[in-house]
């Protein structure tokens, strides 16, 4: 805008110079006309100067306004950036908290999965054990139905072990020497069925035992009476240290401990 006013002023001054130059070559009567032209030019120049001053002031105000606006805009932008940064930090904290919750939930799910798997394996093992035990009991029941021998537990109610001594030939050992004396007992987890050469061999073995831990049952089959006489003397000589009982049985009769049935 200011450049336009300056250009117009220059044009008017050039026109004035041309007019003055032309009038200077005219007669003296035209001096008044020249003066009027100069006055008009001066008035126009003053108007241009006034307009130029207004334009300059307006430009200055606009420049100041723009500077203030830029400062305001910069401050607002800084505030917006600061607000956005705070919001971003808050969102990051929220995301971190959610991630921790997700990780914790995944850990709990994994732990629950492992526990369920462990419980499932334990349940399967218990089911397998129960199935095997049921099969064992069914087999045992079948053997009990089929046996003709009375069965006894290997341990009495007072904790003493039950020892079965059979004297006399046994049908299971027909044709085998040293079949007149045998012993069956369960000592803890040890299960024993021994055949002795004779009653003296049996007595030597009994001498090694703590008789207070056992109760003896003597089965006297045909042909075992003489051996029982020697065995009874041995037991009675120790008075109350040895607890025993006896019974006379047929050649094919007898009794067995439970573990002997299970070993069949």
Whichever domain contains 163, its CATH number is 3.30.420
pLDDT surpassing 60 at residue 246: yes
Mean pLDDT for all residues in the chain:
76
Whether 114 maps to a domain, the answer reads no
* pLDDT (tens digit per residue) in 77-104: 778 888 888 887 888 888 888 888 888 8
Question: Do 243 and 157 have their domain in common?
Answer: yes
Query: Same structural domain for residues 69 and 160?
Result: no
Give me the domain span that covers residue 14.
2-78
Buried b / exposed e over 175-201, threshold 16 CB at 10 Å, is eeeebbbbbbbbeeeeeeeebbeebee
Domain boundary among 60, 78, 96: 78
- One domain for residues 67 and 159: no
Domain finish residue from 78, 94, 115: 78
The predicted pLDDT at position 30 comes to: 59
Mean pLDDT of 140-162: 72
Choosing from 57, 78, 99, the residue where a domain stops is 78
User: In sequence order, what are the residues at sequence separation of 6 or more whose Cβ sits closer than 8 angstroms to the Cβ of residue 48?
Assistant: 5, 8, 9, 12
Q: Which helix (H) or strand (E) holds 259?
A: helix 258-262
Residue 22 within any structural domain of the chain: yes
Residues 155 and 257 in one domain: yes
Confidence tier at 34 by pLDDT (50, 70, 90):
low
* Count of structural domains within the chain: 2
Give percent of the chain above pLDDT 70. 72
């Amino acid at each position: 805008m200011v450049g336009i006013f300056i250009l117009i002023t220059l044009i008017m001054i050039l026109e004035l110079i041309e007019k003055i130059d032309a009038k200077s070559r005219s007669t003296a009567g035209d001096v008044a006309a020249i003066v009027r032209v100069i006055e008009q030019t001066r008035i126009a120049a003053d108007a241009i100067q006034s307009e130029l001053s207004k334009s300059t002031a307006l430009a200055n105000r606009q420049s100041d306004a723009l500077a203030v606006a830029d400062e305001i805009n910069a401050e607002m932008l800084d505030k917006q950036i600061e607000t956005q940064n705070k919001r971003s930090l808050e969102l990051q904290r929220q995301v971190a908290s959610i991630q921790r919750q997700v990780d914790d939930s995944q850990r709990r799910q994994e732990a629950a999965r492992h526990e369920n798997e462990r419980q499932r394996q334990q349940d399967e093992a218990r089911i397998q054990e129960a199935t095997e035990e049921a099969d064992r009991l069914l087999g045992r029941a079948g053997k009990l139905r089929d046996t003709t021998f009375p069965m006894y537990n290997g341990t009495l109610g007072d904790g003493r072990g039950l020892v079965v001594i059979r004297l006399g030939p046994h049908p299971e050992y027909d044709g085998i020497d040293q079949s007149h004396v045998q012993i069956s007992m369960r000592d803890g987890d040890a299960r024993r069925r021994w055949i002795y050469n004779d009653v003296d061999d049996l007595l030597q073995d009994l001498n090694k035992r703590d008789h207070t831990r056992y109760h003896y049952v003597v089965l006297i089959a045909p042909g075992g009476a003489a051996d029982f006489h020697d065995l009874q003397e041995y037991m009675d000589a120790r008075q109350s240290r040895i607890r025993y009982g006896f019974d006379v049985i047929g050649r094919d009769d007898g009794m067995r401990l439970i573990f002997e049935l299970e070993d069949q």
